[in-house]
Amino acid sequence: MKGAVFLDRDGTIIELVHHLNDPADVAVIPGAGRAIADLRTAGWRVVIITNQSVIGRGKLTEAGLDEVHAEMRRQLAPSGADVDGIYFCPLAPSIKDSTVIEDPMRKPGPGMLLAAAQDMQIDLAASFMVGDTVSDMLAGRNAGCATVLVRTGYGAAYDHDAGAIDHDVADLSAAAQVILSGSDR
């Protein structure tokens, strides 16, 4: 079993757009495609782990989400980048505290990472979770992964004191450098 790099989507791979539901609003963050391509060239599997309450809120269908992801992949392609899987949680939360696990499948719950690990034979203890919010850091920690906070998206104003951050870097490019340099925790 090998590790994987789990990536949050919004604010980590693509620019943060609140309740994104239109493919026309998809904009891959500069350097993100190259970072993903470099990770996969080095043998890492790259799996997106994303909360999509926009579905539970009735603002986007699963078919619409597929269109958003098709556009994201279209923008990643020129860098030679693609992802090995996309896991999303459609649940619309009823509580606002993003450090509280409301459902195991919604970050900060570890459920999507655990499902991916089972589906793809991933060693969670050898894996990383990269994201811009406290729920990403906690989901990674709750799954037994090392965590990388990126200062894009909500990360620019990250002020939680929940711990659970192993690496604190500027963006996905820098996160990939940390991972590729062989640093673990």
The CB-of-135 to Mg ion minimum distance in angstroms stands at 8
Residue 79, CA distances (Å) to 9, 131, 168 in order: 17, 21, 24
Q: Going by DSSP bridges, is the β-strand pair 167-169/128-131 parallel, antiparallel, or unpaired?
A: unpaired
Which has the closest alpha carbon to 6: 103, 158, 126?
126
Which has the closest alpha carbon to 77: 124, 117, 128, 40?
40
The CB-of-122 to Mg ion minimum distance in angstroms stands at 21
* 29 or 37: CB nearest Mg ion: 29
Q: Is 10 a catalytic residue?
A: yes
Is position 171 an interface residue for Mg ion (rule: CB under 5 A)?
A: no
| 38 DSSP assignment | H
In the region spanning residues 5 to 64, those forming contacts with Mg ion, defined by CB under 5 A, are: 8, 10-11
The CB-of-116 to Mg ion minimum distance in angstroms stands at 17
How big is the chain by its Cα radius of gyration, in Å?
15
Check: CB of residue 154 under 8 Å from CB of residue 178.
no
Is position 71 an interface residue for Mg ion (rule: CB under 5 A)?
A: no
Per-residue binder mask for Mg ion (CB under 5 A), 129-168, x = binder: ---x------------------------------------
* 42 or 156: CB nearest Mg ion: 156
Q: Is 8 a catalytic residue?
A: yes
Q: Which residues are catalytic?
A: 8, 10
Residues within the interface to Mg ion (CB under 5 A): 8, 10-11, 132
